[in-house]
Amino acid sequence: MFNYFRKELDWGGRKLVLETGKIARQADGAVLARYGDTIVLCTAVGARTAKPGQDFFPLTVNYQEKAFAAGKIPGGFFKREGRPSEREVLVSRLIDRPIRPLFPDGFRNEVQVIATVLSHDLENDPDIVAMVGCSAALTLSGIPFFGPIAGARVGYVDGQYVLNPTAAQVAESKLDLVLAGTAEGVLMVESEAHELSEDVMLGAVTFGHTQFQPVIEAIIALAEHAAREPWPLPEPSEADRALAARLDALARGALTEAYKETQKQVRQERVAAAKQAAFAALAAEGLEADRAKPLAKDLEADIVRNAILDTGLRIDGRDTRTVRPIVAEVGVLPRAHGSALFTRGETQALCVATLGTGQDEQIIDALEGESRQHFMLHYNFPPYSVGETGRMGSPGRREVGHGKLAWRAIHPLLPAKDKFPYTLRVVSEITESNGSSSMATVCGSSLALMDAGVPMLRPVAGIAMGLIKEDRGYAVLSDILGDEDHLGDMDFKVAGTEQGVTSLQMDIKITSITPEIMRVALDQARDGRMHILGEMAKALTSARGEVAAHAPRIHVINVPREKIRDVIGTGGKVIREIVEQTGTKIDIEDDGTIKIAASEADRAQAAIDWIRGIVAEPEVGVIYNGKVVKTADFGAFVNFLGSRDGLVHISELTAGRVNRTTDVVNIGDAVKVKVIGFDERGKVKLSMRVVDQATGEDITEKVGPKGGRGERRERDAAAE
């Protein structure tokens, strides 16, 4: 019944198993990938024909995590999986990026790749398993795909590279790097690092590429037994070749002149006009102008790429190493906790930092369990940033991915939560874009956080590198423009400090690049990063000495764990009263740490005094401030030390004879009391007569001991 095949290998000390033929047999390619007890079902399906008039390759990659994979029921009202989480979006992009360049030019059939996590052992991350499984499914499917690829995660623990570190090892690692590629070279890198050198980063990439070669061999071995018949490769027809030649003759001269314009919008207008004129001429000659539109991009790429290799000059007139002019400003929004406007050429990011409390942390419900995130970075790319109209709505995959890249770059430099107990949110609004808005976000976010008073270890900057590679040579480009990204062979983004790299992301659009090219790109990126850090320092060199005036001040106190219940009160009554009365925000942790946030110092101090009063034990001989809460014939009950009450006997209200308690105090009066002892039931005994109510001084010696009738009254009251 089943045409079942299986390939197994030992990889990184654990068993990797690839199976096909039992599950999802109607898909073009289906592989069940298992690593440890983490299992991912990966499928690939392609449409047999392209839609008429389709001028792009419609590839969709969907990674999805099922709650049952970790023995959980989804949270929320509906109790089923819904819209993709941020992690699912990021892993979908992680798989998409290395496989997309490996489909042949001219292939326009729709392809959908789906990876479903069926089991998660909470040790082996499903993302690498999914990447390997999707590569295997495509290789078996018969769909034109110049793979297979494989991927790996690389850690760096105690100066040693670790292949596919477990969750526990990742927590100890100074590097979290994911890479993917073919047998020939690397196609994709994504990483977060703790200020590591370029040598260490390049070594990690080389190590990972070497270590995943057995996986590629295993996929090939599986395909030899289970692959379907390959689809025919798309080939350009004679008519298309003739059309391309005619387009070249009509448009090359005008496009070459248009690309000499250095200003983006004017250049785009001239390029569009040159293409429209060529298309009109083709139509007048009876040729299919619509078929020429995708060919125009190839012509543009040829013009731009060869001009750079021939002259060493780029579209905007720069050489290959020069960074565009930079203007960095901070404090641009008066009410924000921290703000920065970072402009580099025609790319601009307005970054705003907001400081919050523990109540503002993001709760993440993942397969690994619920966790809290106290640093968030959100990236927005409105259509006006490129002079266009467009849809406004929820962030797309690109916005999520760019925000996470900037998050990885900033995160290693943030202070520990126990030293700076704030929740941090940065929003980057891209107000102009012409190349590498994600790296502008890194620079602007670093400045905004420092402007807010966040004590970052060091400023962080980022730069995007490009590549033009032909048989006759190559050129690495610093601080690429949008056109150079679209028409080039590499998008290589490097972020870090003056001491090392904190994040690296690389996407290759050709089959691979050499280690030599990566070395040149990393060295050139370091020079560019140092230049950008110098320009940023003109605005702000380090974090401000204190948090912004409009930010909440957080005060941390510690109480005995057994006292937490007293601070919270029955049903939270006490803590709610403190919050309402003082106007503060209060977070209580299980270890007795209490964080009080308030915009005004006196409010915070009032809450601190209240809490300390609750947890403090009254000491004999100490004078406290109190409030009369009840009167009786034999004395007054006074609330002090927060919620604690004690009795001031009528004989201790004041010196001399007192006929009625209310002759001296009434409910609501603020008084000063001294603890003079405890009765046999542990109740506190207080005195007002030995305290100067105006100054709070102890006047015991002046009034002397009470005697006679007062003592007898006290004994009578106690007996009652």
Using the predicted structure, report yes or no on whether residue 242 has a pLDDT greater than 90. no
Please give the model's pTM, rounded to 2 decimal places: 0.84
Pairing of strands 553-558, 501-508: unpaired
Helix residue ranges per DSSP H, 185-288: 198-211, 213-226, 238-258, 264-284
Residue 236 has pLDDT above 90, yes or no: no
Residue 665 tokens, joined: 């105090």
Longest Cα–Cα distance of the chain, Å, equals 126
| Window from 2-11, 58-67, 248-257, 450-459 with minimum mean pLDDT | 248-257
User: Residues 209-218: what's their mean pLDDT?
Assistant: 96
- What is the bridge-based pairing of β-strands 375-380 and 423-432? parallel
Based on the fold, state whether residues 99 and 196 are members of the same structural domain: yes
Asked if residues 467 and 492 have their Cβ atoms less than 8 Å apart, the reply is yes
Nearest to 212, CA basis, from 28, 35, 469 = 35
Residue 346 lies in a domain: yes
> Quick check: 720 pLDDT over 60?
no
Q: Do 380 and 484 fall within a single domain? A: yes
Find the mean pLDDT for residues 591-596: 90
Report the domain count for the chain.
5
Cα–Cα distance, 351 to 54 (Å, whole number): 38
- CATH code, domain carrying 382: 3.30.230.70
Domain residue limits at 710: 623-719
Q: Choose the final residue of a domain: 277, 311, 345.
A: 311
Question: For residue 287, is it within any domain?
Answer: yes
Are 64 and 118 within one domain? yes
Q: 547 lies in a domain? A: no
Least confident of 142-146, 516-520, 534-538: 516-520
pLDDT score recorded for residue 116: 98
The pLDDT of residue 138: 98
* 320 lies in some domain: no
Average pLDDT over residues 93-118: 95
Q: Are residues 300 and 331 in the same domain?
A: no
What pLDDT does 712 receive? 42
* 606 & 644 share domain: no
Give CA–CA dist 644/94, Å, rounded: 59
Candidates 17, 45, 19; CA nearest to 31 is 19
Domain co-membership, 600 together with 632: no
**Mean pLDDT over each residue of the chain, to the nearest integer:** 90
* 316 found inside a domain: no
Cα(353)–Cα(429) distance, integer angstroms: 12
Does 319 reside within a domain?
no
Q: 321-349: per-residue pLDDT in tens?
A: 999 999 999 999 999 999 999 999 999 99
What is the average per-residue pLDDT within 126-149? 96
d(CA 682, CA 695): 29
Give the domain-ending residue among 311, 338, 357: 311
Q: Are residues 283 and 420 located together in one domain of the fold?
A: no
Inter-CA distances, 104 with 147, 311, 684, Å: 11, 31, 86
Considering the domain architecture, whether residues 194 and 341 belong to the same structural domain is answered as no
What are the angstrom distances between the C-alpha of 591 and each of 535, 559, 604, 670? 44, 8, 21, 34
Q: What is the pLDDT of residue 708?
A: 42
User: Residue 69: inside a domain, yes or no?
Assistant: yes
Helix/strand/coil (H, E, C) string of 471-490? CCEEEEEECCCHHHHHHCCE
**The pLDDT of residue 642:** 67
Q: Are residues 283 and 161 in the same domain?
A: no
Q: Is the residue at 231 inside a domain?
A: no
Mean pLDDT to the nearest integer, 148-157 = 96
CATH number at residue 696: 2.40.50.140
Helix axes 397-410, 86-99, angle to 10 degrees: 100
* Whole-number Å distance between alpha carbons of 119 and 42: 13
- 220 and 250 in a single domain? The answer is no
Assess whether 271 and 394 both reside in one domain. Answer: no
Q: Are residues 331 and 471 in the same domain?
A: yes
Point out the domain boundary residue: 472, 503, 537.
Answer: 537
Q: The CATH number of the domain where 568 resides is what?
A: 3.30.1370.10
Query: 285 vs 648, which has greater pLDDT?
Result: 648
Helix, strand, or coil here: 178? strand
pLDDT above 50 (res 715): no
Band (706; pLDDT cuts 50, 70, 90): low
Q: What is the mean pLDDT of residues 447-474?
A: 94
Which CATH number goes with the domain that contains 287?
1.10.10.400
The whole-angstrom separation of Cα 708 and Cα 675 is: 21
